[in-house]
Amino acid sequence: MPFSMVLLGLMNNYGYFRLDSWYLILIVPAMLISLLASISVRKTFDQFNRRTAASGHTGQSAARSILNKNGLTNVVIERVAGNLTDHYDPRTQRLRLSESTYGSSSIAAIGVAAHEAGHAIQHNEGFWANSLRSTLVPVARIGSTVGPYLALFGLILQISMLTGIGIVLFSAAVLFYLVTLPVEFDASRRAIRVLEEQGMLTADELTGARRVLRAAAMTYVASALLSFASLLRLILLSRGRSGRK
Residues belonging to the active site? 116
Asked if 87 and 107 count as a contact pair (C-beta separation under 8 A), the reply is no
Q: What are phi and psi of 79, to 5 degrees?
A: -90, 135
The single-letter code of the amino acid at 229 is A
**What's the rounded Cα separation, in Å, for the pair 95 and 112?**
12
**What's the rounded Cα separation, in Å, for the pair 236 and 74?**
49
Buried b (16+ CB within 10 A) or exposed e, 51-72: eebebebbbbbbbbbbbeebeb
With the CA atoms of 14, 19, 23 and 24 taken in that order, what torsion angle do they form, in degrees rounded to the nearest 10? Answer: 140
Positive or negative, the Cα torsion across 108, 218, 98, 179?
positive
115: closest CA among 13, 194, 201? 194
Question: For residue 192, what is the DSSP state?
Answer: H
